[in-house]
């Protein structure tokens, strides 16, 4: 079981170039496959000016989703479990407690931002005296080109709540995904923008409808599955029951026929081996 869990993401990445683990259309004019290193985002502009065209922006966003997925895979390969949705390190205890800093912060060492990660005070909440000064240093990978947002805000989120992959109180391993990694959403680009360091994501209560996931009014959004497949979801077509089934890794549900309308993108090659740091963040154990 441990062997399967450790190799699940690696196998998915290897198959990405052959099957469906793609984040955007590949052509001679397309940008190169993404690497896990991303530069700091430029100061955001609320009018979303100085961006590329719609297709270039869409490709960049999908590449960003792919890098996020790679980082989550690397974290899992190191610790046999996913990063916690919200976590603060306490130096006086053997383990951390939920609350304080977003998974986006703890993913930094896995996507080439060890230096930025080292600037965070890991026992302090996201809005503490030290950490609030780092909000403006949001990496480019968390930015959405062509969509207005305040500086330091991101549209990239995970689904958080009981029975989701990012349960705030429990970090599962992929071996617990009985519904399959190809049937479970890893990350989404949509909903209202949030401060990237704040543990603020799509809150899931299976007894209630999911929050609005549209991206600045756009009802077609991008998600990436745990097998690396990037899909475009039409929120006017995909039903709530199907979305809930796709955010629970072990619910035993079957994705409805409406899920097939969000076809995966054309395959592209994964990032070259060795571009994603393997050094585990000290606060994730």
pLDDT given for residue 40 in this prediction: 56
pLDDT given for residue 282 in this prediction: 34
Q: 3-class DSSP state for residue 185? A: strand
Asked if the structure places residue 123 within a domain, the reply is yes
Kindly tell me the burial class for residue 57, based on how many C-beta atoms sit within 10 Å of its own C-beta (0-12, 13-18, 19 or more). middle
pLDDT given for residue 242 in this prediction: 95
Domain count, the chain: 1
Asked if the structure places residue 107 within a domain, the reply is yes
pLDDT given for residue 102 in this prediction: 95
Asked if the structure places residue 269 within a domain, the reply is no
Asked if the structure places residue 230 within a domain, the reply is yes
Asked if the structure places residue 216 within a domain, the reply is yes
Asked if the structure places residue 23 within a domain, the reply is yes
Residue 36's domain comprises 2-261
Tell me the HSE value of 42 on the side-chain side, using a 13 A CA sphere: 8
Cα–Cα distance between 152 and 245 in angstroms, integer? 31
pLDDT given for residue 139 in this prediction: 98
pLDDT given for residue 280 in this prediction: 35
Strand-strand pairing, 86-88 and 220-225:
unpaired
Show Cβ contacts of residue 190 under 8 Å, excluding neighbours closer than 6 positions: 155, 157, 213, 214, 215, 221, 222
Cα–Cα distance between 276 and 285 in angstroms, integer? 19
Contact 210, 204 (CB under 8 A): yes
Contact 156, 221 (CB under 8 A): no
Cα–Cα distance between 121 and 237 in angstroms, integer? 43
Predicted TM-score (pTM) of the model is 0.78
Cα–Cα distance between 243 and 148 in angstroms, integer? 26
Q: 3-class DSSP state for residue 18? A: coil
Strand-strand pairing, 159-160 and 202-203:
parallel
Residue found by looking up tokens 């719609």 in the block: 54
Tens digits of per-residue pLDDT, 204-261? 999 999 999 999 999 999 999 999 999 999 999 999 999 999 999 999 998 989 998 6
pLDDT given for residue 41 in this prediction: 54
Cα–Cα distance between 242 and 235 in angstroms, integer? 11
For the record, the structure tokens of 74 come out as: 């690397």
Tens digits of per-residue pLDDT, 96-109? 455 689 999 999 99
pLDDT given for residue 90 in this prediction: 60
Tens digits of per-residue pLDDT, 196-216? 999 999 999 999 999 999 999
Cα–Cα distance between 156 and 223 in angstroms, integer? 9
pLDDT given for residue 281 in this prediction: 36
Cα–Cα distance between 189 and 9 in angstroms, integer? 21
Cα–Cα distance between 103 and 107 in angstroms, integer? 6
Strand-strand pairing, 159-160 and 185-195:
unpaired
For the record, the structure tokens of 57 come out as: 């922006």
Asked if the structure places residue 173 within a domain, the reply is yes
Please state the separation of Cα 112 from the chain's center in Å. 15
Please state the φ and ψ torsions of residue 66, each to the nearest 5 degrees: -65, -40
Asked if the structure places residue 268 within a domain, the reply is no
Cα–Cα distance between 165 and 177 in angstroms, integer? 9
Structural element, H or E, at residue 77: helix 54-79
Low-confidence ranges of the chain (pLDDT < 50): 1-7, 11-36, 42-50, 91-96, 265-285
Strand-strand pairing, 185-195 and 220-225:
antiparallel
* 118 closest CA partner among 133, 108, 104: 108
């Amino acid at each position: 079981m441990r062997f399967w869990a450790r190799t699940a993401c690696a196998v998915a990445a290897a198959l990405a170039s052959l099957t469906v683990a793609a984040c955007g259309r590949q052509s001679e004019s397309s940008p190169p496959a993404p690497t896990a290193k991303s530069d700091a985002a430029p100061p955001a502009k609320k009018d979303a000016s100085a961006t590329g065209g719609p297709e270039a922006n869409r490709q960049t966003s999908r590449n960003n989703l792919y890098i996020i997925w790679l980082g989550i895979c690397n974290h899992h390969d190191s610790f046999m479990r996913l990063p916690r949705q919200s976590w603060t390190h306490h130096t006086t205890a053997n383990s951390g407690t939920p609350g304080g800093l977003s998974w986006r912060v703890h993913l930094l060492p896995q996507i080439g931002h060890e230096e930025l990660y080292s600037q965070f005070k890991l026992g302090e909440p996201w809005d503490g005296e030290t950490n609030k000064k780092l909000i403006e240093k949001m990496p480019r990978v968390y930015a959405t080109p062509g969509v207005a947002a305040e500086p330091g805000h991101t549209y990239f989120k995970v689904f958080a709540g009981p029975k989701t992959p990012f349960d705030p109180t429990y970090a599962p391993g992929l071996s617990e995904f009985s519904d399959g990694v190809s049937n479970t959403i890893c990350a989404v680009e949509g909903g209202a923008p949030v401060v990237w360091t704040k543990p603020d994501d799509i809150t899931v209560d299976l007894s209630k409808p999911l929050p609005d996931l549209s991206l600045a009014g756009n009802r077609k959004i991008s998600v990436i599955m745990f097998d690396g497949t990037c899909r475009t979801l039409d929120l006017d077509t995909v039903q709530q029951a199907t979305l809930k089934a796709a955010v629970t890794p072990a619910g035993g549900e079957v994705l409805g026929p409406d899920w097939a309308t969000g076809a995966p993108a054309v395959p592209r090659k994964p990032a070259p081996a060795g571009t994603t740091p393997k050094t585990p963040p000290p606060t994730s154990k």
